[in-house]
Structure 1
Amino acid sequence: MSKYIILLMVSVTMIEHYRSTSSIIPSQLLEDKTMSLHNLGTISDRTTFNNRVTALVDPLDSLQFSLARAGNLNIGVSGLRQNVRLQLFRSSSSGLTRIGSSNYRGTTPESLNFRGLQRGQYVAQIQLLAPGRTPYRMRLSRQLINDVIAEERTWNSVNTNLSAYQGTLGTADTSDMFRLNLGADTPLSLTLTGALNTARLRLVKDNNNNGFIDSGEVLASSPAGNLEKSLNIRNLFRGTYYVQVCGSTNAPYTLGMAPQSNFAVREFDLGTLGNTIVTRTGSVHDFNTSDIYSFTLADSRHVSLALTGFAGDPDLRIARDANGNGLIETPEMISYSSRRQAGIDESITLNHLAAGTYLVQVTQHAGTSNYTMRLSTGYPTDLLPTEYDLGVINGTQTLSQYIGSGMYYQNAADNIRFTLNSTRSVNLTLSGLSCDIDLRLVHDANNNGVVDTGEVLGSSANGSDGAEWIAQSLPAGTYFAQVYRWMSHADDSNYNFSVSTGDWYSSNLTDAGIIGEARYFDTRNYSRRYEVMTILRAAKDYGNIDGAELTDLRTFVNGQSTTMPDYVHNLAYKVVNSNPANQWWTGGASTRTSLGNLYAGATADHLEKLIGKWFLGLDHPTAASTTTYRYTSGALFQNGIAYQDVVQGGLGDCYFCASIAGTAFRNPSTIQNMFIDNGDGTFTVRFYNNGVADYVTVDRYLPSTAAGGRYYMAWGGGLYNNTGNELWAALAEKAYAQVNESGWLGRGDSSNTYAALDGGTLSAISHVTGLSNTGYLPLSSSEIISAHNNNRIVYFSDGGHAYTLVGYSPTLGYQIYNPHGTTSWYSWAQVQATFVRWGYSGVRIPGAV
C-alpha cells in the first residue's frame, strides 16, 4: 500500500452521531497526516472498493475519484467492525472542501447521498474512530434514486409504531435506509408522513446480496407526489428486507410501521368535495393492499362512493381519524362495503355526512384489482355501481335488503341491475318498509356509471312507509332500480324489491305493497304463516285500509289458497272476510269491546287486532278475576303424551277434559297433530267443525293464581316459570275457549271466556278428533267392551261429571280415568251404580248391543 504525506487542516474534535446536512465547510489548510490514498478513477455508474483501516498505522483512507458529469452520487460504507466516519470533499486548486459527513454509533453502516453534484474531482475519506482495525466495503453509484444499500437502523420484528423512526432528508442525505429482519412470514404496513411530496417510500430485497438495489429488487414503491405515503404488503416471507426513504431535501419525516393497514395516511388528497363527481383509478394487490384517499366537506352533504371495474375482490370503507392519532380505529369507521361476489361492485351512500375531513380506504381482500373510484355529493345518488344483479328478467325476480345503519355500517341507497332481452312491460315494487324509502328506474344509456340528464325513466316517492310502484314498457337493455332513503330521514328499514314482466299478482292485484310482499314471499320456501301476516300488514302502509287494498287482500287469500298450508288460509280468511268471533276483542279483560270484520276504511289498528286475534293468540279469553295471565315456561309435550297429562282445574269442563284424555289414550298422534308450534311462542290449534278443520292460535300466557300456580287445566310442572311444565292440555283448553267465540260449538254462551265452557257433552270428542260420536247411550257391558276392543274413545257420565275408559280386564273390570287426576277399576256393578250414560267416538258398532 502506498503511503503519502498530505497536509490537511481537518481536526477531529468529537464523534458525530448523525449524518451532517449542514452547509458546505470552507476550505482549510492541510496538516501532516498519515493516510492511504486510492484513486478510483471516474465514477460513471457503480463502483465497489474493499479495504481496511487500522488505528496508529493507517486510520484514514482517502479515495480519490472524478465525476465527468454533474448529477447524483450515492456512497455507502458497510461491513464494519469498528466505528468510522465517512466524509466527502470536493477537490479544487485551493484545497479540499467538505460537503458531507456521516457517522453513526458503533458498526452501523455509513452513507451519503447527493443530488446535483458538480462535475470535477472528489475525495471520500474513511476515518477510524476506535482502537483496533476494521474492514470496510465502499459502494458508489450515480443513480437518480439511491441504489446503494447501507442501513442506518435495524428492526427484527414488525410492531405497531406510528413513529418507528423520525428523520430528515438533507443536502448530503437524500436517502435513508432501514434493515428489517423477519423471523417469520408477516404482513407489513409502512407509512411516510411529514415529508415533501417528492419523497418516496420503497421496500427492497437484496436478492443477490451485492449491496446494490438491482432491477426487480424493489418489491413496492409509493408514487412520488402523494401528500403522504404508505406501503401495504399482504405477506412478506421470512428474510431480510430494506425500507428506503428517499427524495426531497430538507424534509423532516416520520416513518410508521404496523402488521396491518390501519394507518390514517392521506396518500391521495381529493380536496374539498363540491358538486362535481370525483373520479380516481388505482390498483390494490399483494404488494399494495391498501389505497387511502382523503377529502373534506365544507358543510353537511350527502356522499356516495362507488368502486367499479375490478376483477379481484377489493373492499371499501370510509372513516374519520376523530382523535387525530394517525390510526383508523374501529369506532372511527363510518361504513364499509364488502360484498365478496364476482361481478358485484362496492358502494357506500351516506346521508347528511357532517363537515370535516374523511378517509376513504380501498383494501385488497383477494386477487389484484385495478379499480375506478367515484365520489359524489348528489342526491339521490348519481352513481350507478352494480350492487345487486338480478340478470335477465323473464317473469319475476325479488330481492330483500336493508337501508339504514348498523355497527360501523351505514347505507342510504342500493343499486339493483337487471336486463331485458326484448321489449317488455315491466313493473317494479318496493314494499315491507318501515320508513320513507323511494324508488327510481334508471337507464345508463352511455354506460358511464353515472346518472346523467334524461337517464331517469321513472320514479315513485310516496310518503312515510308507503310502498312504491313503477310500471313501464321498456326496450331490450340493461337498467338500474335505485332504492334510496328520503333525504330528511335517518331511520332504518328492510325492504322487499320485485321486478316482473308479468305474473298472477300484477294481473289480479293493484296495490303495490300487497303485490310486492306477495311476490317476494312467493319466491321463498319459508313457512307461509309469517309471510301471509306480512302481506296482510302491507295494507297498513298508508294508515287506513282502502277499498282497493281490501279487495286485493280478499283476492289474494281466496286466489292463493292452494299455495298456503290449510291452517294459514283458514286464519287469513277469517281476517279478511268474516267470522262471528271478529265482532269482539277481549284480550283477557273482564269485558269485551266491539271490533268487527275488516271493511274499507278500517284503521290499521283494526287490521292488526284481527291479525293478533287469529295469528298471534293475543285475544286471550276472559278468566277468573283472581287470576293473572303469565307467560308460562315449559314444553308443549314432556316425555310423550298420556291421558294422565289431563287434570281438570277450576272450571266445569270435565266433558272436554274427558274427551282430550280419551283421545290422548287412544290416539296420541291426534293430540300431537292438533298443535302447530309456530316458533314464536305461539301455537296454532286445530279443532273440527262437522268434520272440517278449523284453527285458532294461542300464546303461552295462561291464567295463574296469585302464587303463580295453575288455576284451570294443570300444566304438570308447578309454578308458571317451571321449565318442566307440560302445556298441551292447558293450551287446548284455552284454545277451546277462544274458538267458542266462532259460535259453532253450539253452546248457549259463545263468548271468548273460560266460564262459557262450563258444562258440555261428549260432542267435544268430535271437536277434537273430527270423528263422529254415538251420542249418549244406555249402559251396555257388551257394547262398552266392544267399543274398547275396537279402539274407540269411550266417554262416561255420572250425570254431573265426565270420565273416560282407559282399560278393561275380564277379571279386574273397567279401568276408568277421572279428569280430576285419578284412575280406578270398576266392576260392572260399580259401573251401573256410578254412571247413568255413556258414548263413544265413531258410529255404533253393529251387533255390539
Structure 2
Amino acid sequence: MSISNKDNTLRGARNLGRLGTRRINGYVGSRDRIDFAKFTLGEVRELSLSIGRIANRASSARITLRDARGAIIRSFNTGRRNITFRDDFGPGTYFIGIQQIKGEVNYKITAAARPTEPGERLDTARDLGVLTGTSIVSEAVGTTDPSDIYKFTINDVGNLQARVNSISAGSRVELIRDLNNNGLIDSGEVIASEVDSFAPFQPSIVTDLPQGTYYVRVSPSNPSNSTQYELTLVNTPFGGSPPPDPGNILATARNLGAVAGTVTAREYVGVLDGLDAYRFTLNDLSNIQVSVQATSTNTQIQLVRDVNGNGLIDNGEVIVSETNFSSTNLSRFTQDLPAGTYFITVASRNASASTLYELNLVATPFGGNGQPDPGNLLSSARNLGPVAGTVNVKEYVGVIDGLDAYRFTLNDISNVQINVQATSTNTEIQLVRDINGNGLIDNGEVIASDTNFSSTNLSQITRDLPVGTYFITVASRTASASTLYQMSLVATPFGGNGQPDPGSTIPTARNIGVLSNTFLAKEHVSVNVDPSDFYQFTLNSTANLQARVQGTSGNTIIELIRDSNGNGLVDSGELIRSDTNFGSSYLSSFIQNGLAAGTYFFRVTPRPGVATNYTVDFALV
C-alpha cells in the first residue's frame, strides 16, 4: 500500500467532496502516523461511520470526527470488532482523522450520508429545503414510528399540493405552520388536514400559501396500523410581488407610491393572512379602476380614505367596497377621485378560505389645474377673479367632496354661459348672488340652477347678468355618487357704459339731464337680481318722444311716468304710456306725441321669469 504524508494535516486532507457513500482505506504507523480526509454536507444528513476491525492485537488507531475548525466532535479507538457510529449533522465541512496509537494499522472506513429519518417533532423534522417544484419521499409510519414530519420553505406565494400514497393502510396528512416559532404544534397551527381510511389510501391537500416555512406530518389513520407511503409535494409559484408582505392595517400598508398608470401586485390572502392593505397617492384628479382576480375563492375589496389620519378605518372612511359572489372570483370597482392618499384592502370573502390573487390598479389622470380644491362654502370659494372671456376648470365632486364653490366678478354687464360636463354621473349646478353678503345661500339668492337627468351628464345655465360678484356651486346629483367634471364659464361683455346701475325707484333713478337728441344705454334687469331700472330726463319744450328697449334674452315692460305730486312713488294716474312685447323679437317701444315740457321718468322691468340685458334709447322725433 502506498504511503503519503500529504494528508497529515487538515489543510492537506484528502477531499471526498460532497459526501454520499465513500470508502476510505489507508495506513498509519511508524512511517505515516496520521491521515485526514475532508467531506462536506449540503444539508442536514444522517452521517454513519463504519470502522472495520483490526485483527492484530498489537495495533490500534484513534478515529476522530472534527468540525470545520478542527475541533473534535467524536472520538473512537479501533479494536477487534467493527465500530459503527450514526448521528445527524447539519450542513458544513467536516474532517475524519486516523491517528496511530500503536503498531502498524491498515484501516478501512466507510462514510455515508443519507437523508435524516423524519422526526416526530418540528425540531427533528426532515428538512427538504426550498421547495420550488416537486419533491417525493418514501418512508414508513406505524406502531414503532407513529408519525413523520417534513420541513420545507417556499420563497414565493404559490399553490401547494401535498399527496400521500399509502401502500397497505389508511393515512393522515397535515399541513402545519409554527406561527409562534416555539417548536410546538399549538392550537390553530394545523392549517389543513386530510385523512383517507379506505383504499386506495390517497389523502391530499391542495391550498394556496404565502411565503414561509411549513411542515407536513404523515401518520397512519389508525394508530394500530403500519404502512409504507410515498409523499409527493408540488409547489407551483405564483410569481408574487417582492417582500415584504402587505401589512394588515393601514399603518403598515404596502406603499405603491404615486400612481398615474398601472400598478400590479400578486399576493396571498386567507387563513394565514386575513387582510392585505395597499397605500397609494394620486397627484391629480383621476379615475381609478381596481380589479382583484383571485385563483381559489372570492375576495372583498375596499377603497379607503383615512380622513382623520389615525391609521384606522372609521365609520364613513370606506369610499366603495365590492364583494364578488360568482364563480369568476373577480372583484372590481371604478371610482373618480380627487388628489390625495388612499388605501385598498383585500380580504378573502370567507375567513376560512385562502386564495392567491392579482391586484390591478389603473389610475387615469384627468388633468386638473393643480389648484387647491374649491371650498364647499361661499366664504371659501375658489376665486376665478374678473371674467370677460372663458375660464375652464377640471375638478371632482362626490362622496369625498360634496360641493365645490367658485366666485367670479363681472366688471361689465354680460351674458354668462356655464357648462359642467361630468364623466360619471349627473351634477346639480347653481348660479348664486350673495345679496346680503353673509356667506350663506339664503332664500331668493339662487339666480338659476340646472340638474341633468340624462346620460349626457351635462348641466348648463345661460344667463344675462349685471356687473357684480357671483358664485357657482357644483354638486353631484346623488350624494352617494362621485364624478370628475370640466366646468366652462364663458362671460361675454355686453358693452355697458360703465355708469352706476340705474336705481330701482324714482328717488334713485339715473338722471340723464335735459333730453335734446338721442340717449343710448346698455343695462340689465331681472326678477331676482335687478327688478327695475329708472331713468330721469327733462324736456325744455313740448316734444314727440320715441322710446325703445331691445332685450337680448327676454321681453321687458317699458313705462313713461310723471311724478306729478313729487312723492317719489308711481301713483294712480301718473303712468303716461307703456308697452310690453310678447313675441320673440324682445323689442318694446312706443312714440308719445305732444309731451309737454317737464321732468319725466322711464322705467324698464322684466316680464315674469325674465333676466335680460337690454339696449335702451330715447329720441325726440
The structure with the largest helix share of the pair is 1
Which TM-score applies when normalising by structure 1? 0.24
Compare the two structures and name the one with the higher strand fraction. 2
Larger Rg: 2
Q: Give the structure, 1 or 2, with the largest relative contact order (CA under 8 Å, sep 6 or more).
A: 2
